């Protein structure tokens, strides 16, 4: 099981050195850098290239992988200018991922707008994602769409991926309670599995059936990363990270 740490919430206040040391102490092999939040790790779209190369070399020297660059670039806005800004930021994020040696870059959809139809929004996302995937191919990076917000239903994800999966795109599974059918994630996972390239874990003591999910993924031969992502900060972030990692490993081993 490959567990990495997403810097959102739990690790946003860690300097790069603190982040490295926490990962080493807790036996975490990779980092998913969330950018655009002003985190103290220093990896941002605006970070100068020489600074990024220094960070990359520092991580490499400590045996840590940059697993992903995760942005909150989203494409559900009403104004064309807003959408265009997010597309340009996504391209910057792709170049950043390449500089950092990260194999994947993440965006979100994110919410189904009320001013266009579902089919029109699927068409919009498919077009943008395909263009980003084509752009990212030249940088050796794959573009992933997070099943996030209200735009996470399995049929919508299938519709998008059928249009752009061959254009260097895939999905991040988000362990969302909304995926459940009769309390099980099996139906959703079965339908998105061909496109799944990364998993974001969230509240492990809620209703989402993590043990079932791990068993399903193991049966399909999933070998990708699992990110520790929590929705609330903690006053004891390293302790929470350690507990979270061990709980995930226990569920995974017993699945």
Question: Tell me, what's the pLDDT at 230?
Answer: 86
Q: Give exposure, 176-187, as e/b (b: 16+ Cβ within 10 Å).
A: beebbeeeebbe
CA distance linking residue 143 with residue 107, whole number of Å: 8
Question: Tell me, what's the pLDDT at 190?
Answer: 95
Neighbours of 60 (CB within 10 A): 12
Question: Tell me, what's the pLDDT at 231?
Answer: 82
How confident is the model over 81-99, as pLDDT tens digits? 999 999 999 999 999 999 9
Q: pLDDT of the chain along its 255 residues, tens only? A: 999 999 998 999 999 999 999 999 999 999 999 999 889 999 999 999 999 999 999 999 999 999 999 999 999 999 999 999 999 999 999 999 999 999 999 999 889 999 999 999 999 999 999 999 999 999 999 999 999 999 999 999 999 999 999 999 999 999 999 999 999 999 999 999 999 999 999 988 899 999 999 999 999 999 999 999 988 889 999 999 999 999 999 999 999
Q: What is the pTM assigned to this prediction?
A: 0.95
Question: Tell me, what's the pLDDT at 147?
Answer: 96
């Amino acid at each position: 099981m490959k567990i990495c740490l997403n810097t959102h919430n739990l690790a946003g206040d860690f300097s790069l050195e603190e982040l490295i040391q926490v990962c080493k102490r807790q036996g975490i092999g990779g980092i998913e850098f969330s950018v655009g939040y002003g985190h103290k790790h220093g990896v941002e779209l605006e970070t100068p290239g020489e600074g990024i190369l220094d960070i990359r070399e520092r991580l490499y020297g400590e045996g840590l992988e940059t697993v992903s660059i995760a942005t909150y670039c989203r494409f559900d806005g009403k104004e064309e200018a807003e959408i265009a800004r997010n597309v340009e930021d996504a391209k910057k994020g792709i170049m950043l991922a390449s500089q950092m040696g990260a194999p994947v870059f993440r965006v979100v959809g994110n919410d189904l707008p009320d001013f266009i139809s579902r089919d029109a929004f699927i068409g919009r996302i498919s077009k943008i994602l395909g263009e980003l995937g084509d752009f990212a191919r030249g940088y050796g990076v794959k573009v992933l769409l997070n099943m996030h917000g209200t735009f996470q239903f399995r049929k919508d994800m299938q519709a998008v991926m059928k249009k752009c999966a061959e254009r260097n795109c895939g999905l991040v599974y988000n362990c969302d309670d909304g995926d459940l059918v009769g309390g099980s994630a099996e139906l959703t996972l079965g339908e998105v599995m061909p496109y799944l390239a990364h998993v974001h874990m969230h509240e492990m003591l809620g209703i989402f059936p993590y043990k079932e999910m791990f068993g399903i993924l193991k049966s399909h031969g999933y070998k990708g990363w699992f990110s520790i992502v929590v929705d609330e900060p903690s006053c004891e972030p390293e302790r929470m990270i350690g507990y979270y990692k061990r709980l995930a490993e226990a569920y995974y081993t017993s699945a």
